Every structure is written in structure tokens, then in C-alpha cells.
């Protein structure tokens, strides 16, 4: 493989331990050019450790890291963080409070000429719409503006790879949505490769091209947001990415299962054999309700969420509760029939 065709990042058999406790166990991962990859998972799963290893802030116990085809970590070699050509954006912005926006941005450019510093400063401040704030100090800026300064500082050094550690978590929700959209567009338009760490599935869905869901030091599943949400490989992934209902199911033919909701037919051929007992995973929005005198369920709870209403229904025959998102207004106590949207069925083994 030539250097130009190398992935932006390649991680092979990466291990990391603290005080004899394994944090990462045999991680393999690659990042394409101009790709945004999100490391997603609960606290303590190894995602931030992975980011620190890539940046050179932690030494791996074992494994190999390459950035743009260049080895930066191996069993015999460890390249210093400032030599890796990696930009990093932190959760708390990490701005120098005594320096202006200008001085914060050019801090990493001290080895370059004044004219080159000015050229890059003007360019990145224009990118993040902060030109008019160049002489302000961090305490004179909003949280969103401070994060834009951090972004500008990271981009000023023209890094081969950008690392983002929960960059949106300290920002107001309305500003956060706008900044996520703006920053994704910025990275894409400038062909930047980025690794993004978060525990928020909403941020991951909106920002990333692919997700790597971490669990106990390993990648549980890797794929596009749509693939992981609609076709989770494990119950952990299914549960972590959103609400899910589980129904006992028996495979009745190559495409269908028998459940408490009746026979449900999927879009694609099942891998399970006829007669096998499984758990069918259904997202709330894959279930539809309609009023019916002889329905099979009763609405027992509901919560208005704006564009949708989240409700709990209880099946009349077996008292099973299901979570459903619905558009049309109904009231607690309504009797309903339940239909399932045609989709690729997701089946899991019983624990």
C-alpha cells in the first residue's frame, strides 16, 4: 500500500492496562481519509483511553498505531505527541484564560514566521466566524464561541488527524445542534479526518459517518449510524442506542416469527432455523397503533414529546408492556390494535 492510499489511521492489536487492569483488549480499527468516526459508549469502556493513545498521551501495553501510513506507536517505537501532526479539541476547551483569541490560536504556530501566523490566523478565524472576536479573552465569549476558538486553534496547525474529546457536552442544547452541523460541514469541506468521542448517541448520529460502539475495552459493533441502530449485532448495542422492546419469538418460516403480536414477517430471509426460539427486538417507531374495539392492547401511559408522543401499551392477554412512539392523539385507556412496519427483523438468542 502506498502512503497516499494509506488510511488516515490504522490501529492494530492495541492493548492498554492501568495497574494491572485491562482497559483496552486487542483493538483493531481504521479510519478513512475525510471520514468522521465516533467512539461511542458508557463511561469506563475505553473510548477516551483510545483517543489518548492515538494522541500519544498514554503508552500502549501492546499494539501498533499508524497515522497516514507512518508508525507512531509500536512495541519498539513511540513518537512524541507534538510530532504526530494531530490536533485535539477537549471537552473544557483548554484555552489560556490570559491570552486573547488571536494568541490562543497562534500559540501552536510559534515556530512559523509572523506573516505565516497572520495568514493562518485570518483563515481559521474566518472559517469559524470569529474574525470580529480576535482581540477578546475567553471569559468574554460564550461557550459555543470558546469551542470555536478551540476548533480554530486545532485547525491552524493543519493536522493530519483531528481528535475530539466530548467537544459539545458543555454547550447549551440549541447551540450544540447548530455547532455540530456547522463543524461537520467544516470538516467535510476541508477533507479532514476525525475521531470523535462521546457517550451521547444523539451527537454520534448527527456528527459521524461511522460509529464504533465500545463495551468493556472492545468494539462491540462498527458501522454506519443507520446500520447500528436498525441492525444491532448484540443486545448491548440495541439497548445503548435507544429504546427497544423484546418479544419472545418462534421462527415459523424463512421470513416470519410468531409473537404475542401475532405473526410478523420481515423483509429479508432469517438465518435462524424454523422452530428456534428467539427474542425479537422492535424499536418503538416500528410499531403502529390504531383504535379498535377488539384491539389487543390498552394505552396505559403516555408522555408528550413535541413532534411525537411516547406511550406504553399493555397487551390484554398477557399483561406485557411495550414502548411505542405515535403521531396521532390517543388517551389512556384506549383499546388499540398493533401492527409492525415491514423491516429486516432483528433476532437475538435468549440469555
* pLDDT tens-digit readout, 177-211: 888 998 899 999 989 999 999 999 999 999 999 99
Same domain, 207 and 288: no
Same domain, 248 and 288: yes
> Nearest-CA neighbor of 37 among 1, 65, 66, 7?
7
The single residue listed with the C-alpha cell 470569529 is 130
For residue 3, being part of any structural domain is answered with: no
For residue 77, being part of any structural domain is answered with: yes
DSSP per residue over 206-268, as a string? HH-SEEEEEETTEEEEEE-HHHHHHS-SSHHHHHHTS--EEEEEEE-SSSEEEETTEEEE-SS
For residue 1, being part of any structural domain is answered with: no
Same domain, 307 and 204: no
Same domain, 139 and 207: yes
Same domain, 210 and 269: no
Same domain, 119 and 21: yes
pLDDT of the residue at 346: 98
pLDDT of the residue at 94: 85
pLDDT of the residue at 178: 87
Domain boundary among 210, 239, 268: 239
Using CA atoms, how far residue 130 sits from 101, 114, 133, 180, 245, in Å, is 9, 20, 5, 17, 46
- Report the C-alpha gap between 53 and 48 in whole angstroms: 9
Domain count, the chain: 2
Burial 166-196 (b: 16+ CB within 10 A, else e): bbbeebeeeebeebbebbbeebeeeebbbbb
For residue 212, being part of any structural domain is answered with: yes
For residue 4, being part of any structural domain is answered with: no
What cell numbers appear for 319 in the block? 399483561
Same domain, 234 and 286: no
Using CA atoms, how far residue 308 sits from 103, 145, 305, 327, 339, in Å, is 47, 32, 5, 5, 18
pLDDT of the residue at 5: 65
Backbone torsions φ then ψ of 107, nearest 5 degrees = -55, -40
Same domain, 201 and 227: yes
For residue 2, being part of any structural domain is answered with: no
Domain boundary among 204, 239, 274: 239
| Domain span at 289 | 243-348
Domain boundary among 239, 254, 280: 239
pLDDT of the residue at 164: 94
Positions of the chain with pLDDT under 70: 1-5
The single residue listed with the C-alpha cell 492496562 is 17
For residue 44, being part of any structural domain is answered with: yes
Using CA atoms, how far residue 187 sits from 144, 226, 282, 301, 327, in Å, is 17, 21, 35, 43, 36
Q: Which CATH number covers residue 157? A: 3.40.50.300
Same domain, 151 and 224: yes
For residue 59, being part of any structural domain is answered with: yes
pLDDT of the residue at 18: 85
pLDDT of the residue at 318: 84
pLDDT of the residue at 219: 97
pLDDT of the residue at 3: 46
Same domain, 312 and 295: yes
* pLDDT tens-digit readout, 127-179: 899 999 999 999 999 988 998 899 999 999 889 999 999 988 878 888 888 88
What cell numbers appear for 142 in the block? 460564550
Same domain, 173 and 140: yes
Same domain, 51 and 113: yes
Q: Which CATH number covers residue 260? A: 2.40.50.140
pLDDT of the residue at 1: 43
Amino acid at each position: 500500500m502506498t502512503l497516499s492510499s494509506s488510511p488516515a489511521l490504522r490501529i492494530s492489536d492495541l492493548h492498554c492496562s492501568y495497574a494491572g487492569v485491562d482497559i483496552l483488549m486487542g483493538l483493531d480499527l481504521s479510519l478513512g481519509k475525510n471520514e468522521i468516526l465516533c467512539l461511542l459508549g458508557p463511561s469506563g469502556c475505553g473510548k477516551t483511553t483510545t483517543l489518548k493513545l492515538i494522541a500519544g498521551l498514554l503508552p500502549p501495553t501492546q499494539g501498533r498505531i499508524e497515522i497516514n501510513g507512518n508508525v507512531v506507536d509500536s512495541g519498539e517505537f513511540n513518537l512524541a505527541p507534538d510530532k504526530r501532526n494531530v490536533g485535539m479539541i477537549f471537552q473544557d476547551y483548554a484555552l489560556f484564560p490570559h491570552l486573547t483569541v488571536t494568541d490562543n490560536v497562534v500559540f501552536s504556530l510559534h515556530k512559523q514566521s509572523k506573516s505565516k501566523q497572520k495568514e493562518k490566523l485570518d483563515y481559521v478565524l474566518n472559517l469559524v466566524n470569529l474574525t470580529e472576536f480576535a482581540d477578546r479573552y475567553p471569559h468574554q465569549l460564550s461557550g459555543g464561541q470558546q469551542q470555536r476558538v478551540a476548533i480554530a486553534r486545532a485547525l491552524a496547525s493543519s493536522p493530519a488527524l483531528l481528535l475530539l474529546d466530548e467537544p459539545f457536552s458543555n454547550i447549551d442544547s440549541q447551540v450544540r445542534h447548530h455547532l455540530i452541523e456547522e463543524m461537520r460541514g467544516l470538516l467535510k469541506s476541508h477533507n479532514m479526518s476525525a475521531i470523535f468521542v462521546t457517550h451521547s448517541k444523539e451527537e454520534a448520529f448527527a456528527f459521524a459517518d461511522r460509529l464504533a460502539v465500545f463495551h468493556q475495552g472492545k468494539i462491540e459493533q462498527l458501522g454506519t449510524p443507520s446500520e447500528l441502530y436498525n441492525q444491532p449485532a448484540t443486545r448491548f448495542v440495541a439497548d445503548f442506542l435507544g429504546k427497544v422492546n423484546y418479544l419472545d419469538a418462534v421462527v415459523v418460516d424463512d421470513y416470519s416469527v410468531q409473537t404475542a403480536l401475532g405473526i410478523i414477517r420481515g423483509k429479508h430471509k432469517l438465518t435462524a432455523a424454523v422452530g428456534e426460539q428467539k427474542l425479537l427486538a422492535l424499536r418503538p417507531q416500528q410499531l403502529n397503533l390504531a383504535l379498535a374495539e377488539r384491539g389487543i392492547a390498552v394505552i396505559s401511559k403516555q408522555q408528550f414529546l413535541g413532534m411525537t408522543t411516547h406511550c406504553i401499551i399493555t397487551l390484554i392477554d398477557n399483561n406485557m408492556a411495550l414502548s411505542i412512539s405515535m403521531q396521532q392523539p390517543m388517551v389512556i385507556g384506549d383499546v388499540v390494535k398493533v401492527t409492525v412496519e415491514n423491516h429486516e427483523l432483528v433476532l437475538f438468542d435468549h440469555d
